[in-house]
Chains A and B, each alone.
Chain A
Amino acid sequence: MALFGTAAACAIGYIYWQTNVLLNRQLEQTIEAEVQGLAEQYRAGGISNLARTVANRSLSVGNSIYLVTDSDGDRITGNLASISRDLWDSVGRVEFVYDRPGQNGPESRLALVNIFRLKGGFRLIVGRDIEDRRVFERVVQSAFFLGLGFMALVGLGGGWLVSRSLLLRIDAVTATSRTIMEGDLSGRVPVVGSGDELDRLSENLNAMLDRIEQLMAGMREVSDNIAHDLKTPLNRLRNSAEAALREHGGAKSYRAALELTIEEADDLIKTFNGLLSIARLEAGTASGAMEEIDVAVLIRDVVELYEPAAEDMGLSLTAQADGYVRIIADRQLIGQALANLIDNAIKYGGAGAGGKIKVTAIDTDVAVEITVADLGSGIPNKDRERVLNRFVRLEESRSRPGSGLGLSLVAAVARLHGGEVRLDDNKPGLKAVLSLPHKSNHNSGAGTQ
């Protein structure tokens, strides 16, 4: 602000000074020319010639001032009445105030004159009326100071206003972050809508807060589910151990109780491992084993692993893929996801003997799609989103084994690979599609040889 003020003052001061210099030079040149002309007349015809010329020139209206006096100081000719006695002896350039008739009587005006002493005591006084210039100078001067003052006022005031609004907005960010630190995640930084840097910062902060809140909600949901789905079996486990102790059933019943306890503990461990896997997949940390795999080989492998189990249930399980279906992926994770889908199809897609489960892999150029289709009862449309969540089991009785984590793990594997899992109607049955997009840096042409 001070810098701006100084610069402005310098600029205006310079303009003022330059104007002054220019005007002065003009004035001097005019007077000089006048003096030159009169000097010629004087050289040519002496004082009488000079007096005549001065008399002539005095007739024209203008700002020129002429006066020729005799040695006593009495006026011979000219448009100036007289000059004061104080100036009488001075020679050269002199400024003084004189009276001139104006519209409303005589007015005092400033004059700048040259006084020459001629032979025989005559005096020639040539000059210009500079009252106008003085007025102009005053106007410029007052404009300069007024401008400077105005600028300082506007600059300081404006600066204060701008910085105050900026500080207020930063204060708003601080206040929001404080409420968030205190545990209220719903707070958001206000966005004024001007689209400036601070607004963009606020928008980014808000987006970040949205993401954090979403993650926190996810965490809360998971911990609620853990509380329910781990505490219940833990309680059961504890109860059965307690019951065995209380009943004094002898070695045999103790043994049975212990075996049951271990079984339940194993189930708990499985659930726990499943949850941890999903959590790690969702955190995106488990991506160290990406390699090019042939999905055609993979589906044949996994189908071969499950085929005898399916056959035992009276189901036929077949794999179908032509040639190579290559993609960059984690073989273990895709294998597990596919295993979970097939496992589901065997458990729920049975519909008695003669059921068919088809596993196919195709490359659509954009993505590799692994489809597991069964002829079972399928999943109602309204449940298809929900069933991908943790611990959701559509069977109310929960009589069949399973933790309710299978499809959530498939969904998490798909997300880790940038893909998705879709549950469609196979008419009848369920068609689960695991879609894995080719990475943009991976030439999709290489996947379809």
Chain B
Amino acid sequence: MAIQAVPPYPRMTPQTHIHAGQFVQEVHVSALHSVPMRILLIEDDVETAAFLVKALKEAGHVSHHACDGETGLALAESGAHDVLVVDRMLPKRDGLSVIAKLRADGVQTPVLILSALGEVDDRVKGLRAGGDDYLTKPYAFSELLARIEALARRSAPEEATTKYTVGDLELDRLTHKVNRGGQPILLQPREFRLLEYLMKHADQVVTRTMLLENVWDYHFDPQTNVIDVHISRLRAKIDKDFEAPLLHTVRGVGYSIRVERA
């Protein structure tokens, strides 16, 4: 855990990830998550918060917990966190108002809203208030973790990345060309966007709902395994003829694109 306590921890573009393979291996031997983060939980249910703090710690992240909106706002104003997880219904000050106040004060820390209200217009309201992502209770912890990590990545400067690279797989966002080991791979437009999203979040886990939301822009539960079938098609194109698979299934959670290390 060499760099865990050094703020600000180094933020990496996908390219540096790959070239710093040594480093990644060093930080996380078992867990997939490469970057430890400081997370502020603003959640009034103490048991939920305790569970989340513990689970996030196991995932390699440091988290603080605030029980009400006012305390949460005060802590968040410091700007010392990488991601805020805010419950919508809080004592003293409700979640949306906390977020609105933070944004008004110029605090740009990404926010994940947790809510029992899960309809489309609730989501729209949450995002309009300044939230970056919206997760409906009850949720699976793996889903929450994947989204928190995706948000931290979002907050990293994108510095006009036009190329994503994972191992010998390259994706050019401008020319829409994909090749692996120098061989061009032909993708359908949707497959391209699917791969683009996966590579943007290389080394992270992305869940099926994240893919449905971000690649297809649908916020409903598709019932059947539609996403899995898309992934297996994509996998057939990028992994089939190559020795080392890059697109991995994370059981019970989702998918991850990364270079597997022994």
Q: Could you list which residues of chain A lie within 8 angstroms of chain B, going by C-beta atoms?
A: 262, 265-266, 269-270, 273, 276-277, 280, 286-289, 301, 304-306, 308-309, 311-312, 330, 332-333, 335-336, 339-340, 343, 346-347, 401-402, 406
Is B230 in contact with chain A by the CB < 8 A criterion? yes
Bound Cα distance A347, B222 (Å): 13
Report the nearest B residue to A259, measured CB to CB.
B252
Q: Which of A309, A336, A343 is within 8 Å of B229, CB to CB?
A: A309
Q: Which residues of B from 116 to 140 have beta carbons under 8 Å from A?
A: 118-121, 124-125, 136, 138, 140
Q: Which residues of B contact A336 (CB under 8 A)?
A: 218, 220
Q: Would A288 and B138 count as touching, CB distance under 8 A?
A: no
Q: Would A339 and B222 count as touching, CB distance under 8 A?
A: yes
Q: Which residues of A contact B225 (CB under 8 A)?
A: 309
Q: Which residues of A contact B220 (CB under 8 A)?
A: 332, 335-336, 339
Bound Cα distance A269, B125 (Å): 23
Is B159 in contact with chain A by the CB < 8 A criterion? no
Most buried by B among A262, A265, A332, A333: A332
Q: Which residues of A contact B23 (CB under 8 A)?
A: none
Bound Cα distance A356, B69 (Å): 54
Q: Would B224 and A289 count as touching, CB distance under 8 A?
A: no
Is B226 in contact with chain A by the CB < 8 A criterion? yes
Q: Name 19 extra pairs, CB < 8 A, besides A308-B226, A330-B120.
A: A262-B140, A277-B119, A286-B120, A288-B124, A289-B121, A301-B216, A305-B218, A305-B226, A305-B230, A308-B230, A312-B229, A336-B220, A339-B218, A339-B222, A339-B223, A343-B222, A343-B224, A347-B224, A402-B223
CB-defined A-B contacts under 8 Å, sample of 11: A280-B119, A288-B124, A289-B124, A305-B226, A308-B230, A308-B232, A309-B224, A332-B120, A336-B220, A347-B224, A401-B223
Q: Would A305 and B219 count as touching, CB distance under 8 A?
A: no
- Nearest-Cβ distance from residue A181 to partner chain B, whole angstroms: 32
Q: Which residues of A contact B229 (CB under 8 A)?
A: 308-309, 311-312
Q: Would A286 and B223 count as touching, CB distance under 8 A?
A: no
Bound Cα distance A340, B223 (Å): 8
Q: Which residues of B contact A402 (CB under 8 A)?
A: 223
Is B105 in contact with chain A by the CB < 8 A criterion? no
Bound Cα distance A343, B222 (Å): 8
Q: Which residues of B from 133 to 154 have beta carbons under 8 Å from A?
A: 136, 138, 140
Instruction: Take A286-B119, A330-B120 as given contacts and tell me if A309 and B218 are in contact as well, using a CB distance cutoff of 8 Å.
Output: no
Bound Cα distance A347, B225 (Å): 12
Bound Cα distance A287, B120 (Å): 9
Q: What is the number of residues of chain B that contact chain A, defined by CB distance less than 8 Å?
A: 24
Q: Would A269 and B138 count as touching, CB distance under 8 A?
A: yes
Q: Which residues of B contact A312 (CB under 8 A)?
A: 229
Is B190 in contact with chain A by the CB < 8 A criterion? yes
Q: Would A305 and B223 count as touching, CB distance under 8 A?
A: no
Q: Which residues of A contact B120 (CB under 8 A)?
A: 286, 288-289, 330, 332-333
Q: Which residues of B contact A346 (CB under 8 A)?
A: 224
Q: Which residues of B contact A273 (CB under 8 A)?
A: 118, 136, 221
Q: Mark B220-262, 1 if CB is under 8 A from A, else 0.
A: 1111111001101100000000000000000000000000000
Bound Cα distance A288, B124 (Å): 9
- For the complex of A and B, the 9 pairs showing the least CB-CB separation, nearest first, are A288-B121, A308-B229, A336-B220, A309-B229, A309-B226, A332-B120, A286-B119, A343-B223, A289-B120
Report the nearest A residue to B138, measured CB to CB.
A269
Q: Which residues of B contact A335 (CB under 8 A)?
A: 218, 220
Q: Would B226 and A332 count as touching, CB distance under 8 A?
A: no
Q: Would B223 and A406 count as touching, CB distance under 8 A?
A: yes
Q: Which residues of A contact B219 (CB under 8 A)?
A: 332
Bound Cα distance A346, B120 (Å): 26
Q: Which residues of B contact A288 (CB under 8 A)?
A: 120-121, 124-125
- Nearest-Cβ distance from residue B226 to partner chain A, whole angstroms: 5
Q: Which residues of B contact A343 (CB under 8 A)?
A: 222-224
Q: Which residues of B contact A340 (CB under 8 A)?
A: 223
Report the nearest B residue to A263, measured CB to CB.
B252
- Nearest-Cβ distance from residue B249 to partner chain A, whole angstroms: 16
Q: Which residues of A contact B140 (CB under 8 A)?
A: 262, 266
Q: Which residues of B contact A277 (CB under 8 A)?
A: 119
- Nearest-Cβ distance from residue A412 to partner chain B, whole angstroms: 12
Bound Cα distance A35, B120 (Å): 108
- Nearest-Cβ distance from residue A404 to partner chain B, whole angstroms: 12
Bound Cα distance A304, B189 (Å): 11
Bound Cα distance A406, B223 (Å): 9
